[in-house]
Structure 1
Amino acid sequence: MTVTIIGLGWLGVPLAQLLREQGYTVKGSTTQSKKQAHLVDSGIDTTVFSLDPQPKGQNYSDLFDTDILFVNIPPGSRTRPASFHPQQISAIKKLATETKVPRIIYASSTGIYPNLNQVARETDSIDRDNTGNLALWEAENLLWKDKTYDLTVIRFAGLLGGDRIPGKYFSGKENVPGHFPVNYVHRVDACRAVSWIIEKDLWNNMFNIVCPKHPTKKEVFEKNALDMGFPPPGSYDKSSNQNWKCISVEKFLETGFRFHFNDPLSFTYSVDLLSKT
């Protein structure tokens, strides 16, 4: 079976490595020509391909000659208008439909849920007026509408591990929000979850992928500082008027999946990368 990964980045590369170890034929795309050579050398058939928002690149049609298309494109909501990412996904859908791609996995985010100070589940009603991320909401709906392929949407929580250490970003800062529950998932489990969905044929579905345990931000930041040796936040915001959400993973656990990193307080990181980030 062949899997194409659109977006061989921080998540896509280790996912490609895991799938290759499991016997899949893997190919994928990068937007950087200088990165292509490195990926090819590592054994991953890589094409330079970008969406701006229309497709750009050479010979990228081969990416869509595949059994499964894993679409892993950040929405860029901070730097792009909300319409940009849906246009990217529209272009992907058009190419996938024309080439008759049979299965698609779309990497979305739990950021799509509104902050309603409660548990968020896949069955929650989300619309353009209450969504936490309009670009993702439109992209998901676009992929579901009149589809000719099997589709599963993964809503990833905050992806951590490697050099992504949450406490590092708040080290020494003042008035840091700390009493809300975190919604995190380790990169190892994110990759394992994609593999699990493929292995178990969990198609035409939607899953939140998030750690079952939700310690507070303060607990995580203080543990990171203690483990990694950098200063914790200087102070925490004690106000209670900020909204939050706690993402449920119950539906995915019902498929039989078990997390390797069950608790964000037990996440491992690459300490040697601290000086580089």
Structure 2
Amino acid sequence: MKILVIGAGWLGTQLASQLKADGHELWLSSRSAAKAASVKSHYNHFVLDLSQSVRPDAELEALFKDALVICTVPASRSDGAGYIRALTQLAGLMKQLGSVACIHMSSTGIYEGLTGAVDEQSQLQRSDPRIELLETGETLVAAAVPCCTLRLAGLIGPGRHPARFLSGKPAGAADVAVNMVHSSDICAAVSAIVQQQLWPELFNLSCPEFCSKAEFYFTACKLASLPAPQFESTPTATPSRRVLSTKSQTIAGFQYQFSSALAALPFCS
């Protein structure tokens, strides 16, 4: 299958490596030719800057036609309008140029404001601007072509060690649940989804077993030989949010390599 991975960042390059190993025809995009040197040595490459106005041409049509598009464009906390503009343009290209489907990387941040166990059917707090941004992005892409939306928990893996997030810093409540997912599990899930062409669909990707924020970050900082975070001593008054990944565990041929975020820590760097 011809697959376009939009975004040659931390996650996009790992997905491209997995899908190329699976035998797919892989194309990886970057925002400028200047950023493409390292990409070109491993993958087919094209320039696509969704922050600018994109005019479809013969080259883009040849790429997007009959392709599966994997969107790794992150939802910016500082430029929500830019994020929506980028996804609007991508959705238009996929629809106009005849892409077959999309896998869209969204975020479990869409469940912000909820407590207790949440899953793909949970009612969202749409009055929150961040949640509205994420849901608008999901809707834009899903309206263009058949789409598998993946709501990703906190990202960890090679080159993204969680100890660096909070080491030596105030870290809030100690007893809340940690929702994390290792990049290797994202890649494995996407590989299985592509193989079975599971679209349209919606899955949470998050380690199935939970641990507390304090246990996770104390362990992470110890393994990385970094100062521990500073947690509040007062327990939380309401149940913390736990993102359930039960549905993703039903994907044939996929199982989490790391059942808990603690188990994933030795495989982060």
Both structures adopt the same fold (TM-score exceeding 0.5): yes
Secondary structure at the residue paired with 2:49? strand
Per-residue deviation, residues 197-246 of structure 1 (Å, max 9, x unmatched): 11122111100011101111111111112222112124435252588411
**Alpha-carbon contact 2:173-2:236 (below 8 Å) kept:** no
2:10 counterpart residue number = 10
- What is the CA–CA distance in structure 2 between the aligned matches of 1:249 and 1:270, rounded to whole Å? 21
Offset of 1:132 from its aligned partner?
4.9
2:244 counterpart residue number = 248
Per-residue deviation, residues 56-101 of structure 1 (Å, max 9, x unmatched): 899544441342111110111x211x33322221111111111111
- Is structure 2 residue 168 aligned with structure 1 residue 169? no
Offset of 1:35 from its aligned partner?
2.6
Q: Which runs of 5+ in 2 are unaligned?
A: none
Distance 1:193 1:160, change over 3 A: same
**Alpha-carbon contact 2:68-2:102 (below 8 Å) kept:** yes
Offset of 1:165 from its aligned partner?
1.8
2:127 counterpart residue number = 129
- What is the CA–CA distance in structure 1 between the aligned matches of 2:55 and 2:152, rounded to whole Å? 27
TM-score of the two chains, using structure 1 as the length reference: 0.88
Letter in 2 for 1:87: R
Letter in 2 for 1:39: V
Secondary structure at the residue paired with 1:133? helix
TM-score of the two chains, using structure 2 as the length reference: 0.90
- What is the CA–CA distance in structure 2 between the aligned matches of 1:57 and 1:243, rounded to whole Å? 49
After superposition, residues 230-249 of structure 1 pair within 5 angstroms as 230-240=226-236, 244-249=240-245
- What is the CA–CA distance in structure 2 between the aligned matches of 1:66 and 1:157, rounded to whole Å? 30
Hey, which of these two has a bigger chunk of helix by percent?
A: 2
Cα RMSD for the two superposed structures: 2.3
**Alpha-carbon contact 2:163-2:224 (below 8 Å) kept:** no
Secondary structure at the residue paired with 1:202? coil
Identity of aligned residues (%): 26
Distance 1:136 1:56, change over 3 A: farther
- What is the CA–CA distance in structure 2 between the aligned matches of 1:254 and 1:75, rounded to whole Å? 27
2:73 counterpart residue number = 73
Distance 1:214 1:64, change over 3 A: same
Secondary structure at the residue paired with 1:230? coil
Pick one of 211, 225, 228 that aligns with 1:215.
211
Q: How many matched pairs?
A: 266
Letter in 2 for 1:33: A
- What is the CA–CA distance in structure 2 between the aligned matches of 1:45 and 1:10, rounded to whole Å? 17
Pick one of 92, 95, 120 that aligns with 2:93.
95
